[in-house]
Each structure stands twice: as C-alpha cells, then as structure tokens.
Amino acid sequence: MHVLDLGCERGLTSIFQAKEYDVIVFATDLWISAAENYERIKAIELEER
C-alpha cells in the first residue's frame, strides 16, 4: 500500500505509518526541508519506505 502525506511537517506521522503498517509513504511539506526529514528517516533506517 502507498500513502501520500501532504503537509507532513517533521514526518512523525509518516514514520509511524511506515513502521506500524508496513506501507510506503510519500511525504512532503512546504516549510520543512526534504533533506531535514530525510536525515531523520534515514537515522531510524526507514528510507526504503
């Protein structure tokens, strides 16, 4: 399953969905940089989802 999270802010909901429901999440936010969110997601080893 794929999830689109528009306005994800710091990506916490996206991270939760990827971990708990084993879905692929596409997330973006206008005010938080994608690079910042990617570093957070990479740190918990979820970059494949």
pTM: 0.80
pLDDT for 7: 95
Note the pLDDT tens digit of each residue in 4-41.
Answer: 999 999 999 999 999 999 999 999 999 999 999 999 99
Contact 30, 8 (CB under 8 A): no
Across 1-49, the runs of DSSP E, i.e. the strands, are 2-6, 24-28
The pLDDT value given to residue 19:
93
Task: Using the predicted structure, report yes or no on whether residue 49 has a pLDDT greater than 90.
Answer: no
Strand partners for 6 = 28
Q: Where are the domains of the chain?
A: 2-43
| Chain position carrying tokens 């080893």 | 45
